[in-house]
Amino acid sequence: MELLQFKYFCDAANTENFSVTAKKFNVPPSAVSQSIRRLESEIGASLFTRQSNKVALNARGAKFYKRIYAVLREIDVAVSEAGSNTYSETINICVNAHRASVKRALAKFQKLYPGVDIHIQNFHDPSSESFDFIIASDEIRQKGFKKERIVSENIAVAINKSNPFALRDDFDVSMLKTEPFIILQRPSSMYDLTHKVCAKFGFKPHIAIQTDDPSYIPEFLQLGLGVCIVAERSAINWHYNESVLIKPIAGYTRDTYVYISKKNTPQCAEKLVNTLIEEFKD
């Protein structure tokens, strides 16, 4: 077994696309496919489910990935501590979605690479400054960035049980057209998401409360001051109490991406992206 086999495998486990992994390592797709085939043969187990031109990490592969990824991270730390490849850089990041999860990922990353300085702007206009990374759930049309999806999640309504619509079996978003809404102010993915979802159900939301601090949202909901359109992962991170119901909206999902600058990208860019993807897999 070779270190490169494990690197190919871990990247392919994230992308579930051998061609994308091959492009990242600047090798033919066949090189990645053959390397992973050899790895599977050597350990005596299939790690991916293969159908036509698609591959998907199977249960055994997911378990193997967690172990191998941890080993590769330790190798990176050892190399960094040895001093020959110590990173000494500054990364400028704009975080417009999943602030809590991104914060945890950045904390893990900085423990691995303490020489990297991280400058963070939360809920910021990504076009107003020069960023190396932008985490957002909205399509960004700025030139010079490539994007990679880090999570896809269901959209839901957060609503207090005291609201007369909360416990109805026929609950529908259109029932909320006269209800007060609570949102994060612009620029934020919640602001745009709320308006998009309500528009699909034929109304413009009545915004009763806007805030730039996400920690206020669960408190206002628990007090019954309004309703909120949320992504389910964010709802979990906000730790609502039992007075708040999370009601999924059938057929509605949100994709969150990391946008990576193509210009002057820091040397440790790929490692940061992998850390973000790993955090959202947990």
75's tokens? 């190798």
Kind plus residue range of the DSSP H or E element containing 155: strand 145-160
Across residues 250-259, what is the average pLDDT? 88
Cβ 237 vs Cβ 60: under 8 Å: no
The CATH-assigned architecture of domain 151-254 is: 3-Layer(aba) Sandwich (3.40)
Across residues 148-157, what is the average pLDDT? 88
Domain(s) labelled CATH 3.40.190.10 in the chain stretch across 151-254
pLDDT tens digits, 161-215: 999 999 999 999 999 999 999 998 877 778 888 999 999 999 999 999 999 888 8
* Distance (Å, whole) CA 105 – CA 72: 16
1's tokens? 């077994």
Domain(s) labelled CATH 1.10.10.10 in the chain stretch across 3-83
Looking at residue 133, its amino acid is F
Q: Which CATH class is domain 3-83?
A: mainly alpha
Looking at residue 173, its amino acid is V
pLDDT tens digits, 215-240: 888 999 999 999 999 988 777 777 77
| DSSP summary character for residue 173 | G
User: CB neighbours of 49 closer than 8 A, spacing ≥ 6?
Assistant: 55, 56, 57, 58
Q: Which residue has the tokens 């509605």?
A: 252
User: CB neighbours of 41 closer than 8 A, spacing ≥ 6?
Assistant: none
